[in-house]
Every structure is written in C-alpha cells, then in structure tokens.
Amino acid sequence: MSFIFKKPPLFIMLLSLCSCPAIANEILPTVEVEATNNAQNGQVRSNASELLQQQASGNTLGDYLQEHASVESASYGPAVGRPVVRGMSGYRVKILQNDTEINDLSAMSQDHAVGVMPKASERIELLKGPASIVYGASAGGTVRLVNESHHQFPEKGFSGQVDAEVGSNNDLQSLGGKAVATSDQFTVGISANRIQTEDYTDGHGNLVKDSDVLTEQASLVAGWRYKPGAQVIVSYETLDKDYGIPNQTSRATRIDMERDIYSLHWSETELFEQLDKLSFDLSYSDYLHNETEGGRKDGLFGQKALQALVSADYYLDDWLGKLQLSYRTNELKVCHEHGACDSFSTASRSGIDTNVGASLENYLSSTGLPYSHGHPMPNTETQAWMLGANAEKPLSKWGKEAYLSLGAHIEVRALQADSSNIQETWLMPSRVDAKYYQDETEFAGSISAGVKHPLTQNIQSEVNLSYLERLPSVDELYWNGFHHATDSYVFGNRDLKKERSVNLDWDLALQGEQSDWHFSTYGYYFWDYIYQDSAYDQNGKPLIDPFHLSDVWQTMQTDAVFAGGSVRNDWQVMQWKQRPAIWTNQFEASLAQKNNGDSLPRTAPYSYLTKLGYQAMNWSANISLKHVFEANKLAEYESATDSYTWLSAYADWKVKSRYGNWRVWLKGENLLDSYAQNHLSFLKDTAPLMGRSVRAGVRWQY
C-alpha cells in the first residue's frame, strides 16, 4: 500500500518535480479566520500554511486548530492529536478531506492518528450548524480539509512550491513540495511531503521514550476539462505514518499506519436554470495499521471504505443551498493475538457447542465481566445511505449581512457482524446474549437552523440551534478486549441506544474603530451520551484485567450537559508606519456534566491567551502567552492536572523576486520550558507536552 516511500529514490524524484518554475497560486494570501462567512453561516476558514507557521505547535490536525476558540487537541505525544471542538471528541467531530469522510480509526481510540497530513492541505474549515449538518450529525461540527486541485481546475500555467523546516528538541526535519501544470483542457499535479522527528524532552528535561514520528505523503492529480464548466478529475494519495506511543509498558509500543485513497470527481456548472453545479464523487480508501510491542505484532486493524456522493448546488428564488446524497460501505477487521497478527484470519471451529464462549463464561462467572483474550470484536460491515441538505436566504429587512440557514440530515445504516474471526472459546455465546451478533438496520434524523443578522451597524449576531441523532459506532458496540497502545482493557456496550442532543451556539461580534470584541457561547443537552470511564469495584479500587494487569474502561451512557464559551478582544494598541499593532486577549471556559451534576472525565480546563502581533508589508511578528488553569472539574476517581504557562513567539520575512517568492520564518514554542500535561489525554502522565523548542522554515514559490 505504501510502496512509494519504501523506495527513497522515488521520493527524491517527486520532490525534484515540485521545484519546477511556476506561478504562485496560494489560495489565501493571509490567514482568514472569521466567525461567520457571508456565503455560509457557521463557517471558519483558515489557510493551512498560515496555521502551520503562525499557530500550530506541532504537526497534527489538533495542533493546527487548537488556537481557535473552544478547540483543543487530544494529544498522545507528537504523532496523535485529534481535534476536540466545544467539548466534543471522537465521532462527534466529523473529519472530511474535501467532501469525503476520512477513513481512519482515530475516532475509535485517541491514540490512533488522524489519517491526514494537514501540511498537504491548502485550506482547513471548521463548520457548525446548517453548514455542518449537510455532511452528518456531528455535535462538534465538521473539520474539512480542502485541496482545491482535487475538485476544480487551477489557473492556467505552471506553479510550484518547496517547503523545508528544521526544529530543536526533537530534531525535526521536514521537506515537501508540489507542482501543478494546467492548460485550457488538462491539468496534472504532484506533491510529496516528509516529516521526521526523534524522541523529545519535556519541560523537566526528561526524554520521553517512544515519542518519535515518521510521516510520508504523496499525491497525484490529473484532470480533463472537456468543455467550459465541465471537468473530470482523478487523484491518488498515499500516507504512511510510523510512530511510538509513550505509554507505561516497558517494551516499545509502536503503530505503523498506511492509508491509500483513490478518487474520481466529475462536475458541471450551469446545467440549467436553478441548478448552479452538479457533481459526482467516487472514492475508495484502504486503511491498515499494526500495533507492535517490543517488535512483536500483537494487533492489526484494517478498514476499507467505498463512498459515492452526488451533490447539487442550487438556487430557488432567493434561496441558495446544497443537496447531497451519498452511499458508503465500510468493512472493518481487527486482530489481537500476541505475535500472530501478520494478517487477518478465520478462526477454526470444533463444532462442539459446549466450547462456544467457554473461556469468556468462566471470567463472567468469576468476575462478573466477560473478559476476552481473543480478537476484541467481530469483523463488521456497514452500509449507510445519507441524505443531507442545507439552504440559505438573505433577510433583507435586517440588512445585507443578515441570513437564515436551514439544514437537515437523514442516515439509514445496515450493520452486519461476522464473528468468524473470533476464537471459539472467546465468542459471546447465545445463551449469554442471543442478539449479540445480530444484523440490524437503524435510522437517525437531524435538523438545524441558524440566523446571522446585524443588531446594529457595528454589532452582529449569529445563532445556531440543532437537534442531532448519532448512531453508536461499531467499536462502541462490540469492542471487548485489550488495547496495547493505551495499555488498557476496554468494554464496549452492545445495548447502546442512539445518542440524541439539542445544541445551541451563539456568537456575537462587536466592531469598533480600534477594538473588536467577539463573544461565543454554547450549551448542549444530551440524552444517552456515550462515553468511556474507568471501572472500579465496590470498594473504590480500580478494576484490573486478568491478562495484562491493566486498567479497565467501560463504555456507558448518561444524560449530560455541555456548556462553555469564549471572550476575545482585538485592540489596535498603536500604529507604526501606518500599520497597527494588535493586542489580542482571549479567555475560554467549559464544563461537561452528567445530569446528576457529576463531572464527565477529561473536561478541558479554563485557559487565557494574550498575544501581541504586528504585520508589515514584507515581515510580521507576534508573541503570545497562554495560561492553562488547573484541571479540577473531575470525574469520580479522576486525577487533577496542574496548571501551566506556555510562551510562544513567531517572526517571518517575505521577499519577492523574478526567481520566485520566498518566505523565511522562525518560531519558538514553550520558551519558558514549562512542564505541561494535557488533561484531555489518557496518557498525560507518560506523554507530557514538549519542552522548549525552536523551529525554522523556508518556503519558495514560483
């Protein structure tokens, strides 16, 4: 699957192609982060390269986005960081590459890396409300990584780009580039990126073992414009990621992840009146990762997905909207067998009924829990039909900046479980649960409405209200076994109900002559919220699994409340050479509770950020100080996490010449060398955040 980077000469060849003369074609010249967008309520757009250079503290998707209000990163060291948006994590945040759902296992367990390289994207979008619901019912909204060349023709001509970066502390080395050539009818593009780091040291100067990462990515794109406004584009992308997990085990735990995506895009504009654009996307994704402990292959995860998507952009009177119909089939296979997970297998059967579940029943009788040392879940296949729609119209009586947005999403899912991979004595016997492996078809429906309107000439409000339904994932239902990377035993729950919530988001922006304010708040109420928590006996002692002597986690449901918000002020404190210096202050707070008032585990602590920045014609600089308060809103038996202060600084210099445009930048992270732990991480004790580091980079475009 990942043969490209197993042959270094080919990677070098791809990078050499990226250095051809070109015309710079950056989507956005500067970072564009806005609470709303005139074309679509609830949309925040950011230029990926600006996020990397100015904001990202690392190379994960969570690192790129965590400076945005109410966005955190569930970090498991430098390789893993899935974004947590307004307290929502896992499956409650949908991640798309263009309009296709990422086929990885990062939502299953937060030690699994997100199957994308943010650096290779051109733009990253955060969507909520009706703008998000067209893609699915995700309480935390949608994160959409966009590569324009995969869906539309670039400008005619040649363009190219090369990036290089080095860093201290973890010996960061990064090299990447891309090249695109486009004529009136044809386009072809190529890109390649490689990022490598070694083990890092924390704020106490201690080396964090097994924290090294190697990520390699490449893509090919070709397109044909067979008439004006009509195009066919095919693309292939491969991603390899080999990284360690800094857990408590004495033997090195590693994950080697591979993912390939093949896609076809067709679109045509202005087909007839009231239909602005019609498109069809077909993608096939093949994902595989193995988990090793001390070099022994103990776990293997494979997922294949095929998705077909028909999308129509329409206008009807003064309504603009999108209608999207998709079909997705997903096959998931899992292996857990010490030293024997080179491939997936079918277990042997004796044909003797008394053997079925014999070992599992013994543990159920002796401990009250059905512990299993076999494969942790059956092979599963899901087929889902999804219909999403949103529409937006101006509210002229409230002014030209006022819009009403509506959205809806329907999902029908058929789930099939094939237990032929599970060893006979570890099967769930029918006498314990006759419906455990039963096929089922489920339905979920969601709706959303949003209003964006100016209260006065300088005050603008946006409100989004949604009712969402989420079907439990296959691992939440079926997982029953040890997880090497997190060094924990996890019980799923076959009796989970679908998760339902009412979500309210409100943003208020006040614009002054020298000072802008932005207030953002949210409140979510969940029925049957799905979460994992540590398991304890009646005496308050943590349960330990009988095979690995590790902590036990159980998947449960409860009614729950999430609330929080942020306040941000951008103040032009002075003018220098007719350019303002901006002083930013931002405070964030959140809570997550069960309906009885008890806190849910891993609730993000309060934080305060102050930042001073200046941008001239050909250079910019900023310095920021972020204080994360002690995490003391704790679930039962959960440990507190100390506060810390994080100092960052950034400067860049831009030069334009006949030989191309250059940008050189320098960035420092955790300059106070504070010892810091991420309260959202299961591995906060063994994988603290990185100590002081300095990074330098250069970009050349032509």
Tell me what pLDDT residue 498 has. 96
487 confidence band (pLDDT: 50, 70, 90): confident
Average pLDDT over residues 584-599: 95
CA distances from 506 to 415, 428, 460 (A): 36, 46, 11
Nearest-angstrom CA–CA distance, 60 and 112: 12
- Residue range(s) defining the domain that contains residue 255: 3-336+381-421+440-567
Residue 27 has pLDDT above 70, yes or no: no
Number of H helices, E strands in the chain: 6, 31
16 confidence band (pLDDT: 50, 70, 90): very low
Specify the CATH number for the domain of residue 235. Answer: 2.40.170
pLDDT per residue as tens digits for the range 187-236:
999 999 999 999 999 999 999 999 999 999 999 999 999 999 899 999 99
Classify residue 623 as exposed, middle or buried by CB count within 10 Å of its CB (0-12, 13-18, 19+): middle
Residue 32 has pLDDT above 70, yes or no: no
Residue 622 has pLDDT above 70, yes or no: yes
Angle (nearest 5°) at CA 507 between 28 and 148: 25
pLDDT per residue as tens digits for the range 369-403:
999 998 999 999 999 999 999 999 998 777 678 89
Tell me what pLDDT residue 81 has. 87
> Quick check: is 582 in a domain?
no
42 confidence band (pLDDT: 50, 70, 90): low
Give the dihedral sign, CA 115/120/125/126: positive
pLDDT per residue as tens digits for the range 238-258:
999 999 999 888 888 899 999
Domain count of the fold of the chain? 1
> Quick check: is 679 in a domain?
no
Helix (H, G, I), strand (E, B) or coil at 105: coil
Tell me what pLDDT residue 274 has. 87
Average pLDDT over residues 621-650: 94
> Quick check: is 240 in a domain?
yes
pLDDT per residue as tens digits for the range 497-543:
999 999 999 999 999 989 999 999 999 999 999 999 889 988 888 99
Measured in residues, the chain has a length of 702
Helix (H, G, I), strand (E, B) or coil at 61: helix
> Quick check: is 386 in a domain?
yes
112 confidence band (pLDDT: 50, 70, 90): confident
Tell me what pLDDT residue 37 has. 33
pLDDT per residue as tens digits for the range 411-442:
999 999 999 999 999 999 999 999 999 999 99
Tell me what pLDDT residue 19 has. 35
Tell me what pLDDT residue 154 has. 87
Helix (H, G, I), strand (E, B) or coil at 294: coil
The 3-state secondary structure of 343-390 reads: CCCCCCCCCCHHHCCHHHHHHHHHHCCCCCCCCCCCEEEEEEEEEEEE
Tell me what pLDDT residue 41 has. 56
> Quick check: is 350 in a domain?
no
Asked if 285 and 103 touch (Cβ cutoff 8 Å), the reply is yes
Nearest-angstrom CA–CA distance, 370 and 377: 13
The percentage of the chain sitting over the pLDDT mark of 90, rounded to a whole number, equals: 67
Nearest-angstrom CA–CA distance, 187 and 193: 21
> Quick check: is 177 in a domain?
yes
- Give me Rg for the CA atoms of the chain: 25
Average pLDDT over residues 255-262: 95
Q: Across all residues in the chain, what is the average pLDDT?
A: 88
Average pLDDT over residues 25-37: 30
> Quick check: is 587 in a domain?
no
Tell me what pLDDT residue 199 has. 96
Nearest-angstrom CA–CA distance, 511 and 102: 37
Nearest-angstrom CA–CA distance, 696 and 664: 8
> Quick check: is 481 in a domain?
yes
Average pLDDT over residues 251-278: 91
Spatial neighbors of 569 by CB under 8 A, at least 6 apart, are 515, 516, 517, 518, 584, 585, 586
Instruction: Look at the pTM and tell me if it is higher than 0.85.
Output: yes
Residue 404 has pLDDT above 80, yes or no: yes
591 phi/psi in degrees, rounded to 5: -145, 155
